[in-house]
Amino acid sequence: MTLAGKTAVITGSNSGIGLGVARELAKAGANVVLNSFTDRDEDYELARDIADVTGVTATYVQADMSKAEDCRRLIDAAGGCDILINNAGIQYVAPVEEFPVAKWDAIIAINLSSAFHTTAAAIPGMKDRGWGRVINIASAHGLTASPYKSAYVAAKHGIVGLTKTVALETAQLPITANAICPGYVLTPLVESQIPDTMKEYDMSREDVIKTVMLERQPSKEFATTQQLGGTAAFLCSDAAAQITGTTISVDGGWTAL
């Protein structure tokens, strides 16, 4: 499969799953636009590194996915977005009655509303060019819930609904919209939850990983960023042209339980 000549915009891609997806799409030949809210030398260096390794055009665009105007500016800056990967996301854990309002607002803005803004900005160009792929990185928490993750679970269920709606609106065009629902993937987002969980349960790192994090993941293995990138690349292939409005779980069996 080649995605040569296509441009992929990946929100929140200076780390973790977004970076893994960017690398896999670049390996498949797509030009990639990386993004985060920071403006550091190392952000631009990541793009240069992808370009050096794969030979595609890779750029980095600073834009804050908590802000509507930045979401739309990112798509403009890409100069044509054929593949849109809505991946930017944050997490916060607290009982619903103690959940800070600012954290709720930030999670809904970054994990859900940003996908509305980028999709709205990208669809007209996809229609003009007659091809497009919208791939939303949801979560097993887009299909099931866990306690203390009210904002995250609400945002992830919301992005699954947005995915279905965009798929119906584009169903008769060569544009598809799907959500990938990962289980646990060992990225900085997950790594940052380990110390608190170790304290909370008075457990070693290994026990937190095995008995808390991977408790609901029957494979007892983390999914990898490469596997998620490969799934995104598959959704961009001709074989996936009739796959739209659905979710693909990459969760080691979590949602089969």
Closest CA to 76 of 124, 43, 19, 128: 124
Ramachandran bin of 15, using left for φ above 0, alpha for ψ from -120 to 50, beta for the remaining angles: beta
Total residues binding ligand NAD (CB under 6 A): 28
What is the rounded (10 degree) CA torsion for 226, 8, 69, 103? -10
Residues of span 92-111 touching ligand NAD by CB under 6 A: 110-111
Query: Phi and psi of 208, rounded to 5°?
Result: -60, -45
Residue with smaller CB distance to ligand NAD, 89 or 158: 89
Residues of span 121-140 touching ligand NAD by CB under 6 A: 137, 139
Options 3, 6, 7, 16; binder of ligand NAD; rule CB under 6 A: 16
In angstroms, what is the minimal distance from the CB of 130 to ligand NAD?
A: 29
Which residue shows structure tokens 């050096």? 52
Is 113 among the residues that bind ligand NAD (CB under 6 A)? no
Options 54, 118, 176, 187; binder of ligand NAD; rule CB under 6 A: 187
DSSP class of 11: S
Residue with smaller CB distance to ligand NAD, 3 or 254: 254
Is 66 among the residues that bind ligand NAD (CB under 6 A)? yes
Residues of span 146-185 touching ligand NAD by CB under 6 A: 182, 184-185
Tokens linked to 240: 């996936």
Query: Phi and psi of 84, rounded to 5°?
Result: -115, 120
Burial class of 93 by CB neighbour count within 10 A (0 to 12, 13 to 18, 19+)? middle
Q: Is 148 a residue of the active site?
A: no
Tokens linked to 186: 């060992």
Which one of the listed residues 92, 152, 184, 201 is annotated catalytic? 152
Is 84 among the residues that bind ligand NAD (CB under 6 A)? no
Which residues of the chain form contacts with ligand NAD (CB under 6 A)? 12-18, 35-37, 64-66, 87-90, 110-111, 137, 139, 182, 184-185, 187-190
